[in-house]
Structure 1
Amino acid sequence: MMNRTDAWSGGSHVAPMVVLRLEGDWGRAAREFLDATRERLFAWHCEGAGGSAVVQAYTAAVDGLIQVLFDASANEAQQKFPVLDQSFALVAQGGYGRGELNPYSDLDLLFLYPYKSEPFIEYVAERILYTLWDARLTVGNALRSVRECLRLASSDFKVKTALLDARYVCGDKTLYDDFSQRMEKEVLNRDVDRFFQNVLAEIASRHHRYGDSVYLLEPQIKEGQGGLRELHAALWLAKVKFKTNRLGELVQKGILTEREHAEVEEARDFLFRVRNALHFLARAHQDQLTFEYQERIAPMLGFVDTPQMKGVEHFMRAYYMAAATLDRFAADMIERCVRQPRSYFSFFRTRARRIRPGVTIAQGLLSISGPEILQADPSNLVRLFLDAQRHEVKLSRATKRILRAHLHLLDDTWRSHPATVDAFFQILKGKNVAETLRDMHQAGVLGAFLPEFGALTCMVLHDVYHIYTVDEHSLRAVQELEWLRAGKYHDSVPLLTHVMRDIDRVDLLLLGMLLHDIGKGRGGGHSERGAAMCDAIAARLHLNPDEAAQVKFLVAQHLNMAHLAQRRDIHDPRLVIDFARRVETLDNLKRLYLLTFADMRAVGPKIWNSWHDMLLSELYLRTAEVFEREAFIEEDYRERAARVRQRVAAASTVPEAIRERFLAGMPDRYFLSTAEETILHHLELYRDYHEGEVVCSVRHYRERAFSEWTVVTADRPGLFSMITGVLLAEGMNILTANIHTSAAGVAVDVFRISHGDNPETVVAPERWERAEANLRQVLAGSLDVEQLVERARPRLRLPRRYTPRVPTQIEVDNQVSEHYTVLDVYTHDRVGLLFTITNTLYHLGLSIHLAKITTNVDQVLDVFYVTDGKGQKILDQEFLDRIRTVLYQRLTEDSAEAPTRAAAVGAGA
């Protein structure tokens, strides 16, 4: 029996001790030792132990285990092979070599021998490895001679980086020390350029593989950009360039400042703490910080909900800030090690060009002579980025480091200094604005100049809809406007491109875009809060009243146009007129239209689509017409409906009696919301309709990515729900539904169906033939629509994937429409959701006249324009409360349902 105890120190506390008793079944003993160790360390972790402390403690425990196994197996081997050469060392490599084992990390062991492998060495290695495998550890291993290690390290990048992190564990220390010296002499200092290029290639490949962003929704905490591997790569470079991979020694050599050292250590400790939590919760090697783990880890690390943000949002903000620190450190180290001139001659080939006192450009990088030019004139913190923008270069990493160390100079006085403000507006008026603002932000200058924007740094919204942090989203939105102005989207959004070219003060539009979300993180109503903050900003930036009003308007109204276009009846004359009055001027409308486009595109890659373009453009054109015609009274629209009737009557070939019955019986809203060509088509369907029958027609609009299904039949209670159920059974994703009923009780229901990512499956004729056949049976009473939906559920279900739950909310709006009560339903998507809602409304005795369906990944925002059984707007408060209660109960009953295949097809629609 062999015993071992260790006191593991970490931080200001001592880690709990576990006794290893190696007797009997070694594998079982090792497993019990590791399980007990993890249990103690988990408790210590929950008490607040630092990430590095827990990592060091677990590494020490594994060291102790391996040393005991080494001694015990060597004793056994000595009895079996007493005369053989017993000289070898057991070396830790990779993460284990760095002393960075998280609770379920893999091990990488090297059994190092002088010349050739002996049975003694092989026996010890086999005994140790089998014991560790029996203890359920994943162990990479190699038995190599010193010569073989040096040869492989010279030619194999992975072997070289593993050995850069090598650490002696037990065995022949002299052998290891000799090997380490030869490694530095024969490998480390040779082919340096090739090694650096290999490191850069590894970084680029890894970033591409794991998402090319620090700010992913579910980041890979080890391999992703800004993850722990970022630090490893930087320290590999440092080991070769500066002969050390220890942060403290880099400070001593003048490579890092004390402040930078502290920032990197703090970031590493935080990521260790997060990775420890991941491993403890998964009880396995787990490096993907999924939504589920985010929600479980946040309270474990002390992040709690506040009135402004959820605990998990505070947690992820801390994560992104730590990851950004490691990403920046790696980029700094790359510039120091790889991109500096290496020789006297290369220096003269890239001689610096002076552009103004203290500012030079060389090798495409702008540098300053020292911090004195910032101290003498703090406006240079902003002016340097204007210099870089005008000369189309980047600031050197060394210059950015100086800037970060002197951000305090940009105080209230210098934020509003004319030189600083003028430089900022010159940037907004120049080229590559978004790129320049991003560089300013990464250096900390943008947040120092605009503290309101700085407060958005790494701010997170915990859902799958908002792909980026708030600051990243805002910068991407500025980029979208620049691309629009440059004509990048001319073919896809010609109207927006034309409007963009009409804007005279693009700098104010870009400023409004940059500031549009500054109210976030301060409680509800971020548009109003942000607008209130604009007054102080405008004063600091010396904006005149008109300029200040433009920016404030954009911040205050930035959600309104998208809200109306996607969730309200934009064919309602009253709504369009009210919107025009709120916007006040055609110029304001143009700016808001552009900002809304950029805001939506910058949310995520699949949010903006041709459907949103059509809705937003139609609202823009209808509102612009109000300004151009000064048509601020509803009577104009009634006259327009009459003119549409007259033109359709003149163009139609349908028999006069049928035509007049149809045109006279349909409401004004139908003629205002339906294209004349479509009305003519509906007239033909109406001609073919006979009482008690159903007439269906589908038309596909590939360029707009939707199909339109029209159903003409006798109106009846629950008709909308029946049609919805039939479409659901076919896996169709409904975008909108317009329900028009003539005075004679004939319904003309028009459904628009998203093509999503699979247009060919949506336009397939057999699907629509099957849908029509099913609808006929449902209307005839020979097929129960609820049974049809139930049979379809298994076919539509997608594999489960955890996403943050969207709390179900039902809101009632009796102000926006003169004739209808509007129900807004917010919930998470699931199989049969739309049918559940419409069926519930039917059983409540409500008639649906318009439905607008928005599915953003897993978030559903469904809108229904409804009336009671008498066709009246619902004003009775008790009935409204009952509608809310019943609908909420029905939606929460099946809240565990998986998302629908149709919703996945139409994500973002």
Structure 2
Amino acid sequence: MISMENLRNRRQIVDRKAVIAGLDGIATEHAPDSAGFRAEALQYLKTILAHGRTVVEQRFKEDGDGSVAMRGFTFLTDQVIRCIFDFTVGRIYRLTNPTSGERLSVIAVGGYGRGELAPYSDVDLLFLFPYKQTPWGEQVVEFMLYMLWDLGLKVGHATRSIDDCIRLAKADITIRTSILEMRYITGNRPLERQLRSRFMKEIVEGSGLDFVEAKLAERDERHARLGDSRYLVEPNIKEGKGGLRDLHTLFWIAKYLYRADEVSELVARGVLTAAERRRFLKAEDFLKTVRCQLHLIVDRAEERLTFDVQPELARRLGYKDHAGTLGVERFMKHYYLVAKDVGDLTRIFCAAFEAEQQGRGRFRMPRFRFTKVPVEGLTVDGKRVDMAEKVSLKADPVLMIRLFHFAQSRDLDIHPNALRIIRRNLKLIDNSVRENPEANRMFLEMLTSKKDPETTLRRLSEAGVLGRFVPDFGRVVAQTQHDMYHVYTVDEHTIRAIGVLARIESGVLGEDHPLSNDIIHKVLSRRVLYVAVLLHDIAKGRGGDHSVIGAEVAETLCPRLGLTAAETETVAWLVRYHLVFSHFAFKRDIADPKTVENFVNIVQSPERLRLLLVLTVADIRAVGPKVWNGWKGQLLRELYYVAESVLSGGHAIKGREARIRASKEAFREAMSDWTAEELDRYIARHYDPYWLSLETQAHVRHAHIIRRADRERAPLTLENRSDSFRSITEITLYTADHPGLFARIAGAIAIAGANIVGAKIFTTADGLALDSFLIQNDEGGAFDHPGQLARLSAAIEQTLNGTRRPRQELADRRNSALPSRTRVFTVEPVVLIDNNASLAHTVIEVNGRDRLGLLAELTLAFFDLSLSISSAHIETFGERAVDVFYVKDLFGLKITNQGKLKLIEKRLLTALTGTVEKKKKASPKPAAGKETQAAE
């Protein structure tokens, strides 16, 4: 049971006698049941509560001890409740001759019952009566609750008799848990003792196994609901895996089974060692401290460590920036290591409980006997492998690797006792073990096994073995990246990527990744692929290019693991270029032959192409649950097929004129129902880039759209088609061309709630615009709901006819929106201009903080600069926007003038930062009226 005795100078927080005297003084001036008394008493108690909170918070600021702070807030609340109760029953509803039923006990339950009251936690109370509620009891409870609510406390309450508590505890595990950790505050003490006695006798005794099973099932459901990982980058410190609630679960089980009120009692029972007790208390103190700081920072009850509070938390807890590592990243790494300790303690605790129950013959699972196995030093207990008694790891430290290897080969779990022994002997995994050929052979077999390598790697990592055996991996354990794109820590992302790779190979993800599922069986070395995935991010957090540094790590590590020189070279190449496939697929125009040429020059072989594609898919898929979508898959497949054709001796990069002729001929064949004259006339309406940039299927679809629009003389034609597999909706627009059209359409699409991820812009010889926009919803799926599409069509039409001004609407939305939690991130704006990436275009890449309407601002900047956009490739990585544009000048040429290039960079940087300058003087452009509309 918690004690307030170690709180220093408790009267400085609140002096109960003085408070009672103050209330008595108010009562002498007002009738106790008058409105005047209540108002003055309430104001007085608010002052007392505010003073006490200030004292506790100031002490917390000085000593940074969350456990002490929670006891301080608990003590303050206890005393206020006692004062209100004493005055209520002593002055307002005083009984001169109470009956046996007019007794009341006020009991703290929940976190308040444990004495863990964070600054803005709920105050959970049980008003306990001996029998049914009485009129006197109703009045007392009502008065107290209204006083507490008016004081600003968030009070949750239950009013029950002892019989009610026992009856409900039998049926509801949550109520049973709340009574388990009840704590007397004030009122009739024998009532509380009677409930406690009956609860232990009628509920707890003989039901330990049921309670444990229920609490562990409750924990598993909670973990699944909150992401089932302790390595989320925005973890829930209370409910998440490895958080405070997991420690509470251990506390409840210990209290229920062993009647333990303190963790130290579990050491005497042999459940935990003294070292494990210290880990428990250290983890608990850390999590309590972080939770208190979190509440005070956001000024409310909040349990998620969101990006916007992490830097301030790190600052308050004393984590400073070091070379190559931010203080916030160091703080979060500490958090993940603590969460890992909580998981370790949970397994150890549950194993001790299981062993005790088996010893009593009460455990429901069959009682297995230890059996010998073909590996000396190991035994099997049911479905778990354990260390044999009196085994000497000092004599054979490789046994730690052998245990996991054997468990994987036999589909066995690891016994917590073995994990405990391994953790105590991790230092034995030194260079002699790392260089041991057998240890490296077994590790490589585990990594490349078809028996769930993800689970085995996670077990190795959580036991600390993986980080010791591969020290470079140990450096990224709990390594976080302070951005909104990466959902997991580096080590968790890597292990998940191995799992994705294994599921692709097994065919489980064949429907999502048909190409990868096919070509993974054609790679010449599975070992190369699995090792490359393991090492692709191993050098993150070192302050340099992690791809380059990672390749150097691979060159050293691969020979140690037993890979050949050729395999080592390939792994190092894959690590060095593991971002290349996504770079070209997502940021470059695949229809541009120069894109394919540059990509092929890097890849150089069909085998590397296959390996790189599968690695890229596994990498992206493992970033987070919402990062992968069908559109990305389609872009990767398109680049793969054209690159494969070239690498296999095809002619994807044949002459421009030949490609144009072939495209037109394919169109003629597909449009066999048109006359030769109609085909000649239609083909002449399009410039050469149109025939180079699209496939025949798109040419045919556009031809039908244009013919129908021309016949109907429609001023604006909008067509949409959605592809759920590609997670994309294509909007085709056909209308009269005019300057700034792209900027206005981009603005209209933004106010309709869609995100542009790609665009192709064409102008016909007779001055009409034929533009295709690829859009998605906020979840990365097709923008295909009928209501969404109707709003989009209306927004585009109203923008083009001048009745809506997207730029102003977007500005108003930004100004009225609540501050984004992404504001804590620093995204340095960058403009990169490349005249070598395309034969006919200047390629401009802009990087900056994403915001509502950014694309509209950027395309308006291109309009102001008199540049025409031929295609756009839009990508967002959390808070970072990466947009690539293929542009030409007014004469249809690349931009080569250095002065013009500097002007482009300056103007785009201005747009990226959101500080668009007022135009001093409009440059001469045609259709001035339309330009004004475009600027709006």
TM-score range with shorter-chain normalisation? Answer: 0.7 to 0.9
Structure 1 residue 636, shift from structure 2 partner? 5.0
Q: For structure 1, which segment, 333-342 or 538-547, has the greater mean C-alpha deviation from structure 2 after superposition?
A: 333-342
1:724 corresponding residue in structure 2: 746
- Tell me, yes or no, if the aligned pair for 1:30 and 1:131 is still in contact at 8 Å: no
- 1:567-599 deviation digits (Å, cap 9, x = unpaired): 111122222122112112211111100011111
Distance 1:574 1:785, change over 3 A: farther
1:883 corresponding residue in structure 2: 904
2:96 corresponding residue in structure 1: 81
Q: For structure 1, which segment, 226-235 or 522-531, has the greater mean C-alpha deviation from structure 2 after superposition?
A: 522-531
- Tell me, yes or no, if the aligned pair for 1:737 and 1:752 is still in contact at 8 Å: yes
User: Which amino acid letter does the alignment assign opposite residue 506 of structure 2?
Assistant: A
2:349 corresponding residue in structure 1: 333
- Tell me, yes or no, if the aligned pair for 1:808 and 1:892 is still in contact at 8 Å: no
- Tell me, yes or no, if the aligned pair for 1:90 and 1:109 is still in contact at 8 Å: yes
SS of residue matched to 1:291: coil
SS of residue matched to 1:376: coil
- Tell me, yes or no, if the aligned pair for 1:223 and 1:229 is still in contact at 8 Å: yes
Q: Tell me how far apart the structure 2 counterparts of residues 732 and 424 of structure 1 sit (CA, whole Å).
A: 47
- Tell me, yes or no, if the aligned pair for 1:8 and 1:57 is still in contact at 8 Å: no
- 1:536-584 deviation digits (Å, cap 9, x = unpaired): 3224324332121122112111111111101111122222122112112
SS of residue matched to 2:648: helix
Q: 2:266 aligns with which of 250, 263, 287?
A: 250
Q: 2:240 aligns with which of 224, 231, 256?
A: 224
Distance 1:397 1:113, change over 3 A: same
- 1:203-258 deviation digits (Å, cap 9, x = unpaired): 23333444433334443332333222211111211223233142111122221122
Structure 1 residue 433, shift from structure 2 partner? 0.8
- Tell me, yes or no, if the aligned pair for 1:567 and 1:852 is still in contact at 8 Å: yes
Structure 1 residue 499, shift from structure 2 partner? 0.4
Q: 1:675 aligns with which of 690, 695, 702?
A: 695
Q: For structure 1, which segment, 500-509 or 74-83, has the greater mean C-alpha deviation from structure 2 after superposition?
A: 74-83
Q: Tell me how far apart the structure 2 counterparts of residues 143 and 770 of structure 1 sit (CA, whole Å).
A: 57
- 1:317-371 deviation digits (Å, cap 9, x = unpaired): 3333323322332343334335853545979752333223232223321111247
- 1:457-512 deviation digits (Å, cap 9, x = unpaired): 22222333222222221111111111111112323432221101112322321121
- Tell me, yes or no, if the aligned pair for 2:358 and 2:367 is still in contact at 8 Å: no
- 1:848-869 deviation digits (Å, cap 9, x = unpaired): 1111122456543221112233
- Tell me, yes or no, if the aligned pair for 2:551 and 2:573 is still in contact at 8 Å: yes
- Tell me, yes or no, if the aligned pair for 1:740 and 1:749 is still in contact at 8 Å: yes
User: Which amino acid letter does the alignment assign opposite residue 675 of structure 1?
Assistant: E
1:546 corresponding residue in structure 2: 566
Structure 1 residue 517, shift from structure 2 partner? 1.0
User: Which amino acid letter does the alignment assign opposite residue 434 of structure 1?
Assistant: E
1:193 aligns with 2:214: no
Q: Tell me how far apart the structure 2 counterparts of residues 680 and 104 of structure 1 sit (CA, whole Å).
A: 63
TM-score (norm 2): 0.85
2:831 corresponding residue in structure 1: 811
- Tell me, yes or no, if the aligned pair for 1:9 and 1:15 is still in contact at 8 Å: no
User: Which amino acid letter does the alignment assign opposite residue 44 of structure 1?
Assistant: R
1:509 corresponding residue in structure 2: 529
Q: Tell me how far apart the structure 1 counterparts of residues 10 and 83 of structure 2 sit (CA, whole Å).
A: 22
User: Which amino acid letter does the alignment assign opposite residue 477 of structure 1?
Assistant: A
Distance 1:165 1:746, change over 3 A: closer
Q: Tell me how far apart the structure 1 counterparts of residues 709 and 722 of structure 2 sit (CA, whole Å).
A: 24
2:456 corresponding residue in structure 1: 436
Q: For structure 1, which segment, 512-521 or 237-246, has the greater mean C-alpha deviation from structure 2 after superposition?
A: 237-246
Distance 1:741 1:689, change over 3 A: same
For structure 1, the residue ranges without an aligned partner over 5 or more in a row are 1-5, 896-909
- Tell me, yes or no, if the aligned pair for 1:291 and 1:802 is still in contact at 8 Å: no
SS of residue matched to 2:393: helix
Q: Tell me how far apart the structure 2 counterparts of residues 275 and 91 of structure 1 sit (CA, whole Å).
A: 24
1:41 aligns with 2:56: yes
Q: Tell me how far apart the structure 2 counterparts of residues 141 and 588 of structure 1 sit (CA, whole Å).
A: 65
Q: Tell me how far apart the structure 2 counterparts of residues 189 and 822 of structure 1 sit (CA, whole Å).
A: 74
- Tell me, yes or no, if the aligned pair for 1:726 and 1:785 is still in contact at 8 Å: no
2:34 corresponding residue in structure 1: none
Q: For structure 1, which segment, 638-647 or 883-892, has the greater mean C-alpha deviation from structure 2 after superposition?
A: 638-647
Q: CA RMSD in A?
A: 3.7
Q: 2:771 aligns with which of 739, 743, 749?
A: 749
Q: Tell me how far apart the structure 2 counterparts of residues 729 and 96 of structure 1 sit (CA, whole Å).
A: 47
How does 1:304-703 map onto structure 2 within 5 Å?
Answer: 304-338=320-354, 341=358, 343-344=360-361, 349-355=367-373, 356-370=375-389, 372-430=391-449, 431-629=451-649, 635-636=654-655, 639-649=658-668, 652-653=671-672, 654=674, 656=676, 659-660=679-680, 669-682=689-702, 696=717, 698=719, 700-702=721-723, 703=725
Distance 1:760 1:793, change over 3 A: farther
Q: Tell me how far apart the structure 2 counterparts of residues 606 and 143 of structure 1 sit (CA, whole Å).
A: 45
Distance 1:671 1:78, change over 3 A: closer
Q: For structure 1, which segment, 44-53 or 805-814, has the greater mean C-alpha deviation from structure 2 after superposition?
A: 805-814
- Tell me, yes or no, if the aligned pair for 1:462 and 1:804 is still in contact at 8 Å: no
- Tell me, yes or no, if the aligned pair for 2:795 and 2:804 is still in contact at 8 Å: no
Q: For structure 1, which segment, 455-464 or 854-863, has the greater mean C-alpha deviation from structure 2 after superposition?
A: 854-863
For structure 2, the residue ranges without an aligned partner over 5 or more in a row are 27-39, 917-936
SS of residue matched to 2:309: helix
1:262 corresponding residue in structure 2: 278
Distance 1:764 1:472, change over 3 A: closer
2:867 corresponding residue in structure 1: 846
1:901 corresponding residue in structure 2: none
Distance 1:717 1:106, change over 3 A: closer
How does 1:104-143 map onto structure 2 within 5 Å?
Answer: 104-111=120-127, 129-142=145-158
Q: Tell me how far apart the structure 2 counterparts of residues 585 and 140 of structure 1 sit (CA, whole Å).
A: 67
1:237 corresponding residue in structure 2: 253
SS of residue matched to 1:205: helix
Q: For structure 1, which segment, 158-167 or 437-446, has the greater mean C-alpha deviation from structure 2 after superposition?
A: 158-167
- Tell me, yes or no, if the aligned pair for 1:81 and 1:120 is still in contact at 8 Å: no
- 1:675-721 deviation digits (Å, cap 9, x = unpaired): 12333444566677879986746362534343444445665533433
1:51 corresponding residue in structure 2: 66
Q: Tell me how far apart the structure 2 counterparts of residues 625 and 876 of structure 1 sit (CA, whole Å).
A: 36
User: Which amino acid letter does the alignment assign opposite residue 236 of structure 1?
Assistant: W
2:174 corresponding residue in structure 1: 158
- Tell me, yes or no, if the aligned pair for 1:237 and 1:337 is still in contact at 8 Å: no
- Tell me, yes or no, if the aligned pair for 1:7 and 1:16 is still in contact at 8 Å: no
Q: Tell me how far apart the structure 2 counterparts of residues 686 and 27 of structure 1 sit (CA, whole Å).
A: 75
Count matched residues: 881
Q: Tell me how far apart the structure 2 counterparts of residues 298 and 494 of structure 1 sit (CA, whole Å).
A: 44
Distance 1:426 1:798, change over 3 A: farther
- Tell me, yes or no, if the aligned pair for 1:659 and 1:683 is still in contact at 8 Å: no
2:921 corresponding residue in structure 1: none
